[in-house]
Structure 1
Amino acid sequence: MALRNAVLAALLDGEASGYDLAKDFDAAVANFWMATPQQLYRELERMEAEGLIEARLVRQERRPDKRLFSLTPAGRRSLREFTAAPARPAALRDELLVKLYAVDEGDGDAVREAITERLAWSRAKLARYDRLRARLLDGRTEDAYLAGAERIGPYLTLMGGRALEQQTIRWAEQVLAVLERRASVPR
């Protein structure tokens, strides 16, 4: 998937600056798509040149002027075409899994440390997702939110991100338990 499709989808929530989009990517979109601010700004320029988005300049007194981006009809068409096309399965390429695969020949302590770091990272990410979920629900039940929300896509992708982090936590805990048991057995 091209970064542009994730940007187009993020702009469905309305006009946003590059800075706002970068924050949105970090907070909400990161559960399914990662991009650096530099990548995002380059893509915004390309998309504007292709007519998928348009920008308007907002003058600010005490800050630099900012550009607010919004979808054009061509951008909406492009997003509809993207959503209509079949989705390809995600390809998993994870350096940590390669290290774990080779743990019997490598440094078991270093692999355990890497798994522990991944576990901490996933717990922190799940906590961020839970805070975002609470903000979206705003005191409503999930059923009430899903029945009345203008857009449910952001919530549904958030639930996918939460499920992924919950599974990663369970997996990492299991892996650490196995590695600890094996480390305690004399060989």
Structure 2
Amino acid sequence: MSLRYAVLTLLDIEPGSGYDLKRRFERSVSHFWSASHQQMYRELHRLHDEGLLDCTEQPQAGKPDKKIYALTEAGREALDVWVQRPAPPQKIREPFLIQLFAGHHLDNAQARELVQRQLDRHRALLAGYIEQNERALKGDPERLERYWLAHRTLLLGIESEKTWIAWAEKLLQELDRR
């Protein structure tokens, strides 16, 4: 259900094509919500069929027309209603934690390698989030002010990655002592 509202939110910020939407999704919402290219296009078509999106075709030289999606008034109203509802907390769905939970099947070196790979992944995510935050802070101050709550999701991502890193580093130290 939340993909539809992620799509509505991104198109509320700025109309765009399916390709534009996917790029925006990957730079923002994908840090805490996942969707494939196909899911995104299915949702665009569904929202259009429900009258929540308008679609205009933009001619392109030597290519098929580009479809540009924008919220309708009904789409904006649906987003307004949804954003005011309380969101239920989600449980963590992390395959790595299942692997670690079954870690008694690993020797110490294998466990260390598993944790180190995860640590490297989270360090890379943190570096990406910090870079994205620096770009946001150097960008348009009016845009940053308007979307300051959206920016807070990025700041939570930074803090979350710092927590993962600290936890994994401590776990590696414990594995080294064993």
8 Å contact kept, 2:137–2:144: no
Residues 13-61 of structure 1 show CA distances to partners (whole Å, capped at 9, x for unaligned) of 1111111111111111122211111111111111111111111111111
From 148, 152, 177, the counterpart of 2:173: 177
| Residue equivalent to 1:185 | none
| Residue equivalent to 1:52 | 52
**In 2 relative to 1, CA 169–63 (structure 1 residues): closer, same or farther, beyond 3 Å?**
farther
Residues 79-127 of structure 1 show CA distances to partners (whole Å, capped at 9, x for unaligned) of 1111111110111122211221232343443332222222222121222
| Residue equivalent to 1:149 | 145
| Residue equivalent to 2:28 | 28
Of 96-105 and 34-43, deviating more is 96-105
- 1:80-159 equivalence runs, <5 A: 80-138=80-138, 145=141, 149-159=145-155
Of 36-45 and 152-161, deviating more is 152-161
| Residue equivalent to 1:71 | 71
Q: TM-score, normalised by structure 2?
A: 0.89
Residue identity opposite 2:146 in structure 1: E
8 Å contact kept, 2:115–2:172: yes
Residue identity opposite 1:76 in structure 2: R
Q: TM-score, normalised by structure 1?
A: 0.85
Gaps of 5+ in 2: none
8 Å contact kept, 1:31–1:157: no
8 Å contact kept, 1:146–1:152: no
| Residue equivalent to 2:13 | 13
Q: Could you list the structure 1 runs, at least 4 aligned residues long, displaced by more than 3 angstroms after superposition.
A: 105-111, 145-148
Aligned residues: 178
| Residue equivalent to 1:160 | 156
| Residue equivalent to 2:37 | 37
Take 1:169 and 1:90, find their aligned partners in 2: how far apart are those partners?
21
Percent identical across equivalent pairs? Answer: 38
